[in-house]
Structure 1
């Protein structure tokens, strides 16, 4: 049943027809852009890496679009509105993470690889086992990240249409998944990149406008805004102080350290972020991409601080929690409060576009990794026809879409910033150690690569499965079960160092030795770009 949603203190009601029209308009425009871009997709390089035709500025904006997911817009705003100071720690972690990309990864990765992370990891190793391991980690990381986006889509559209039942939200998640697969099948990387650019521009402009409106409501005084947020929150003045979410016990403090490690190290290992460095022509443009992306995200995350506390001040924690999307409803409810039905429709459409664009980026990354690393180089031993490779990538995109829909339904209701933090932990645990060892350690070998990927991945997944995320707490995915023996919600503090240790021990005890000729070639190529 569809009813109206009223934000506290306003008589405006959400108009489902208007919201649906705004959604449909955005989807129609972006599908047209994707279709036009896809008309020039003729090779695997076009489909996977957009022919490397984008400039650093364009790719940087697209990178911010890939990275500014539903977690950034909906999850962080909700976390700040409910938990205050501690919620903003997500923004800091996500932003600082790009320094690792800029200083250690972007340029070297662009010079060494071609389409996927597996190109870099297998450059001087045994191709088949390393590419298989790389594809495995890419698919699992993409799946975890998609859980957050799909859960966000369910909560967002449920808020707009006031759908409280699980079946209705499941149908919404299914529709999002189908549209996302359509983007990838039609447009490839080129079309997806243009969707990211459009979406990032609209998202940042919307966040800035909401911030200006909020400041206007409080006399352009941040102090007035923060005071009103504290007065309207059950936490009172503690909303503005550290420890509201992570300071209750020694375990939660340790959980915050683990979260910080995962956020800062995870971005440099996310496959869909790494793959985007191949859409520019050279390493200089790759560096410019990171600078542009960091600048865009710095502006956006400053706005989330104001939006989150604005939601606490004008909407209130109780109304946010009671909404169909829970914490993730803070930004849409705030839009309804300050701008009425029209602004709610626009902001929700922007958030919906964010989800679609990010999931499309994840899908093309996962499908490209399977098709290029597994099908073309493991199954066909490097002799696959380009048309067959692209066909396999498209089939994989459909399969990944179906799995993400199922996973999103199961994860519906979780804070999506928190779910993305789990994806960061999995990425850093599986990929970061092997990437850095491959780029900087001459002795690193195939055994070390496999131990690093599989050891870190297994440790992270096992710890998550036996943590309060899955069972043992009211907010767990399985609240009625209790098999949690690992106390931390984010395993990064344990699993990331463990992956570095596995990579080191695998190299020391492995009988194979790195190819010195290929190692020398990789070193020259990564530093100079010769042969890239």
Structure 2
């Protein structure tokens, strides 16, 4: 992924409390623009042409709001599992984790494990209930027995804040990737991504977005499988030999840097142990909570459960998604070590004495792409570059769709029109919102070109874990939860997660340029604290709520529980 999107993962390291060189505040915006890569552009053009044809096909099938938001509920569990995997295997995962492994070895796995552990939570607590209770958005589930106006206002706020930070990171990432690989100007790349994304979503809706995700997931899985196979083939398919070579390369780099043989040996061996990213237990717990529970609160992931026909397919889609994502992360670890052994030792790609990739700030993020060039030449290099770009495009489309649905379905149809909006007008508002979000994403992507955007992705996860997840969890599983508790607790989680991140070292010092040690909040990830504030707020304001409305909501829990557990009545209200 882009220099900057990867700067995302790069400073997710910073977020984790790292002092890693990956996140060391390099101004990715200054990354050297390389010669135009015509192979990559040709691959990219083929992909765009294919996906535009899919959009044309999907547009013919998109006639109602249900078609636009959820593909009419006609996606199978296997297809949806691939699409979820496509949503989740973002370019930050692909390029970011492999670059983190190249820099810190074993520690790079914290991202893989953190992202992956969120899926059992979704499997056992969320997937079936979401499908049985929901229609188009997670607010349908959270607000099933509550007053619609306040809960929808909160849900739309949480969704739009998460989507905004994610969108900026993806747009800046796309711009930097194209700037590095295709030789285009940064602003041109951002405009191209914005324009293509708007075409996919405006005309094809969820059907087109789903199939773009599926194709991208298949291409990415094939690409990383080939890369991992070719890396292991260099070592007679012995992971032990690969790791031993990685340790020896890092040891040699440490000796070249002037360390004694004993110190260098210790540096090399540290590649196989933890402790490089996260320095204290509270940071580790907080960061891990953001990655785990944030997954279960991301609106564009939750929205995918409404694209399947029933709860059984929802469970099946999580099973397949977890399978593909787990497989992907195992291969990324091999590719990360491949970057140490094949890229850092190649004078064409790296300064072998210093152990850094050539090309200026941010080029460490190109580790996986250079592994592709090492094992497959220019054609495979072009293929992986185009797939990385396609990854951003597909994730941006999914994010935009979830933002558009929050405005048109949660705010316009339910809050402003009191549930009396017809499908055509709701669809019109959704498309206007898509255009607005697309333009906003392009403008913000250009404005934030030189900004350290790493904290934005971490903030998106922290917000999702602190605001969306507690409200979803408590409203579905706790009978005493009330509208007042859910809304006040949700907003407390939302505000505290944003506020604590802004005054943390990763933003207050690294991004805003304040003196070292001046941050008001000592930890880099706020999730442990803001998530607790969200849950306590929901609990406290719910038990203090003795109104007649609250009594009615508690009584309605039994009906909600039957539907969420059995699906009785779900078909009639699902919109399909």
The two structures have a TM-score, normalised by structure 1, of 0.91
After TM superposition, list the pairs within 5 Å mapping 1:351-430 onto structure 2: 351-409=388-446, 412=449, 419-430=456-467
Taking the aligned partners of 1:324 and 1:401, their CA distance within structure 2 comes to 28
Q: Tell me the equivalent position of 2:282.
A: 254
Residue 310 of structure 1 pairs with residue 338 of structure 2: yes
Q: Tell me the equivalent position of 1:297.
A: 325
Deviations 1:196-235 (A, max 9, x none): 1111111111111100010112221212222222233355
Q: Is contact 2:163-2:399 (8 Å) kept? A: yes
Quick one: which of 268, 271, 277 aligns to 1:236?
Answer: 268
Q: Which runs of 5+ in 2 are unaligned?
A: 1-33, 255-266, 345-349, 571-576
Q: Is contact 1:108-1:527 (8 Å) kept? A: yes
Q: Tell me the equivalent position of 2:139.
A: 118
Q: Tell me the equivalent position of 2:535.
A: 500
Quick one: which of 175, 186, 195 aligns to 1:178?
Answer: 195
Q: Tell me the equivalent position of 1:81.
A: 102
After TM superposition, list the pairs within 5 Å mapping 1:343-354 onto structure 2: 343-354=380-391
Where 2:563 maps in the other structure, the secondary structure is: helix
Taking the aligned partners of 2:138 and 2:145, their CA distance within structure 1 comes to 13
Q: Is contact 2:455-2:507 (8 Å) kept? A: no
Deviations 1:378-399 (A, max 9, x none): 1111111211111111111122
Q: Is contact 1:58-1:289 (8 Å) kept? A: yes
Quick one: which of 484, 488, 497 aligns to 1:451?
Answer: 488
Where 2:420 maps in the other structure, the secondary structure is: coil
Taking the aligned partners of 2:307 and 2:115, their CA distance within structure 1 comes to 22
Q: Tell me the equivalent position of 1:48.
A: 69
Taking the aligned partners of 2:561 and 2:233, their CA distance within structure 1 comes to 54
Residue 334 of structure 1 pairs with residue 371 of structure 2: yes
Give the Å deviation of 1:414: 7.9
Q: Is contact 1:46-1:189 (8 Å) kept? A: yes
Give the Å deviation of 1:528: 0.7
Taking the aligned partners of 1:232 and 1:485, their CA distance within structure 2 comes to 40
Q: Tell me the equivalent position of 1:148.
A: 169
Where 1:515 maps in the other structure, the secondary structure is: helix
Taking the aligned partners of 2:452 and 2:509, their CA distance within structure 1 comes to 17
Residue 272 of structure 1 pairs with residue 300 of structure 2: yes
> How many matched pairs?
509
Structure-2 change in CA distance of 1:229 and 1:341 (3 Å) = same
Q: Is contact 1:49-1:278 (8 Å) kept? A: yes
Where 1:354 maps in the other structure, the secondary structure is: helix
Taking the aligned partners of 1:479 and 1:87, their CA distance within structure 2 comes to 27
Q: Is contact 2:482-2:554 (8 Å) kept? A: no
Taking the aligned partners of 2:194 and 2:568, their CA distance within structure 1 comes to 40
Q: Is contact 1:323-1:329 (8 Å) kept? A: no
Structure-2 change in CA distance of 1:466 and 1:407 (3 Å) = farther
Taking the aligned partners of 1:335 and 1:69, their CA distance within structure 2 comes to 17
Deviations 1:361-389 (A, max 9, x none): 01001101110000011111111121111
Where 1:469 maps in the other structure, the secondary structure is: helix
Structure-2 change in CA distance of 1:243 and 1:363 (3 Å) = same
Q: Tell me the equivalent position of 1:520.
A: 558
Deviations 1:241-283 (A, max 9, x none): 1112223xx3xx4322211111111111111111100001110
Q: Tell me the equivalent position of 1:214.
A: 231
Structure-2 change in CA distance of 1:182 and 1:509 (3 Å) = same
Residue 22 of structure 1 pairs with residue 43 of structure 2: yes
Give the Å deviation of 1:409: 4.2
Give the Å deviation of 1:501: 0.7
Q: Is contact 1:155-1:328 (8 Å) kept? A: no
Q: Which runs of 5+ in 1 are unaligned?
A: 1-12
Residue 320 of structure 1 pairs with residue 357 of structure 2: yes
Q: Is contact 1:265-1:432 (8 Å) kept? A: yes
Q: Is contact 2:82-2:320 (8 Å) kept? A: yes
Give the Å deviation of 1:479: 3.8
Taking the aligned partners of 2:449 and 2:339, their CA distance within structure 1 comes to 22
Structure-2 change in CA distance of 1:329 and 1:410 (3 Å) = farther
Residue 188 of structure 1 pairs with residue 205 of structure 2: yes
Q: Tell me the equivalent position of 2:521.
A: 486
Give the Å deviation of 1:417: 7.8
Deviations 1:130-160 (A, max 9, x none): 1111011011111122233223212322221
Structure-2 change in CA distance of 1:416 and 1:357 (3 Å) = farther
Structure-2 change in CA distance of 1:56 and 1:80 (3 Å) = same
Taking the aligned partners of 2:482 and 2:407, their CA distance within structure 1 comes to 23
Residue 530 of structure 1 pairs with residue 575 of structure 2: no
Structure-2 change in CA distance of 1:188 and 1:344 (3 Å) = same
Structure-2 change in CA distance of 1:406 and 1:84 (3 Å) = farther
Where 1:487 maps in the other structure, the secondary structure is: coil
- Report the RMSD for the aligned CA atoms in angstroms: 2.1
The two structures have a TM-score, normalised by structure 2, of 0.84
